[in-house]
Amino acid sequence: MLTNLYWGKFADVAIRKLVNPEAGQPLIVLADTTNDLQLAEALLSAAENAGADAQLIIKTRSAPGMATKPGPVLSNAFKSAKYIVSICDDGFDASQAIQESISNGTRILITKVDGIEEYVLKAILDVDIDTMIKNANLCAKLWESTKVCKVTCPNGTNISFNLSPRKTIIGDGALTRDGEIDFFPGAQVNIAPVEETINGTIVVDGSDNVNGLVLTPYKMILKNGIITNIEGDSEGNKIKDWLEACNQENIYHLCHFTIGLNPEAGISGNLVEDERKVAAVDFGFGYQSSDFGGTVGSCDYHMDVVISTPSIFLDGKEMSGRGKFNSEMGFKNMVKPRSH
């Protein structure tokens, strides 16, 4: 495969620039039995070359759509690690073991490349990261000074919420502090809307972490930040069944609002790519990191839904729409570079 020729270069950039481990510190490369083990081994080699005390752990794949609950062996390994670099993204980051690890300072970087190998390569190796981060910083600044945000789409999405006084979290895809968890490739801007102000309708037309690619859009009705009804056929019913199976009240609570900024990203059914599509919106439900300063709190599960090309209005002014940012607000719309 073409991508296999680049895993070494990809792994070197990921470890050296995004993780930047201290020499001698314990680092786990985490994969599951369905992942590309050539990539896992490339990350292990890059971590060893960087001087880390690196180990590769290959775990059993979790059931589709269900969060991982690590047993004692994995839990103890997580708690002993200074860094975790994972190429499986099955919700293990919401587990109690990971939360304890984070509280002890473990730094965690996650991606999932299955089926989007070409994308992750280009999104790391070809993107003008500096310009992308400048756009992210501008978006974060605008959101933190916004009272009312409104998200609309011709297919029926119409939801509003307050952003101030909440602070943003920029997901640049790199680890810079103890206790940080991030996802790569970047970039995203995230915020927890003021929960009791969240009201309206979300029509999911991109993807979610239960169905993957959404072929028939379904509708979520929210009141005071909580899903009160879901309307739709096969995809909508599958979401309802999944939420009920979680058997936890907080999974119905909207916990973050996120926008994508990577010019290489599209909608593929893989959230690692989809939620980074330029100007696409991801709404998260359930587990909410304390970093957001919100009120949703702990939950064993997390669900993301993606709206592919909505419009976002900040106190009545359009910040983005139709897959682009408003250049009059200072954004630079990035042109996709040549592929490999």
Note whether 149 and 276 are same-domain residues.
yes
pLDDT digits (tens, 9 = 90+) for 212-224: 999 999 999 999 9
* Residue 258 or 301, more confident: 258
Q: What is the CA radius of gyration of the chain?
A: 19
Please tell me the predicted confidence (pLDDT) of residue 340. 37
CA 142, 145, 146, 151 torsion-angle sign: positive
Rounded alpha-carbon distances, angstroms, from residue 338 to 149, 227, 264, 275: 35, 42, 10, 22
The DSSP symbol for 292 reads G
Note whether 76 and 167 are same-domain residues.
no
- Reported confidence tier of residue 89, pLDDT bands at 50, 70, 90: confident
Three-state SS annotation for 49-72: HCCCEEEEEEECCCCCCCCCCCCH
Please tell me the predicted confidence (pLDDT) of residue 61. 77
Note whether 188 and 49 are same-domain residues.
no
Note whether 106 and 172 are same-domain residues.
no
Show which of 114, 137, 166 is a domain's final residue. 114
Identify the residue whose tokens are 């939801």. Answer: 159
What value does the mean pLDDT take over residues 227-255?
95
Note whether 47 and 107 are same-domain residues.
yes
11: in domain: yes
CA angle 55, 57, 60 (to 5 degrees): 180
Show which of 65, 84, 114 is a domain's final residue. 114
Please tell me the predicted confidence (pLDDT) of residue 298. 86
Distance between CA atoms of residues 111 and 95, nearest Å: 17
Note whether 21 and 106 are same-domain residues.
yes
- Reported confidence tier of residue 4, pLDDT bands at 50, 70, 90: low
339: in domain: no
Range of the domain at 173: 129-329
What value does the mean pLDDT take over residues 1-28?
88
- Reported confidence tier of residue 141, pLDDT bands at 50, 70, 90: very high
219: in domain: yes
Please tell me the predicted confidence (pLDDT) of residue 216. 95
- Reported confidence tier of residue 94, pLDDT bands at 50, 70, 90: confident
340: in domain: no
Note whether 140 and 288 are same-domain residues.
yes
Residues 246, 298: contact at Cβ < 8 Å? Answer: no
Show which of 114, 145, 165 is a domain's final residue. 114
pLDDT digits (tens, 9 = 90+) for 284-334: 999 998 889 999 988 889 999 999 999 999 999 999 999 999 999 999 977
3-state secondary structure of 33: coil
Note whether 243 and 273 are same-domain residues.
yes
What does the mean pLDDT of the chain come to? 92
239 Cβ contact list (under 8 Å, min separation 6): 208, 210, 211, 218, 230, 232, 303
Q: Which CATH number does the domain housing residue 73 bear?
A: 3.40.1830.10
123: in domain: no
Note whether 136 and 85 are same-domain residues.
no
What value does the mean pLDDT take over residues 247-270?
95
310: in domain: yes
Note whether 178 and 105 are same-domain residues.
no
185: in domain: yes
DSSP letters along 226-281, please?
EEEEEE-SHHHHHHHHHHHHH--GGGGBEEEEEEE-BTT---SS-HHHHTTBBT-E
Note whether 211 and 271 are same-domain residues.
yes
- pTM given for the model: 0.81
Note whether 306 and 272 are same-domain residues.
yes
Evaluate if residue 91 carries a pLDDT over 90.
no
Domain count, the chain: 2
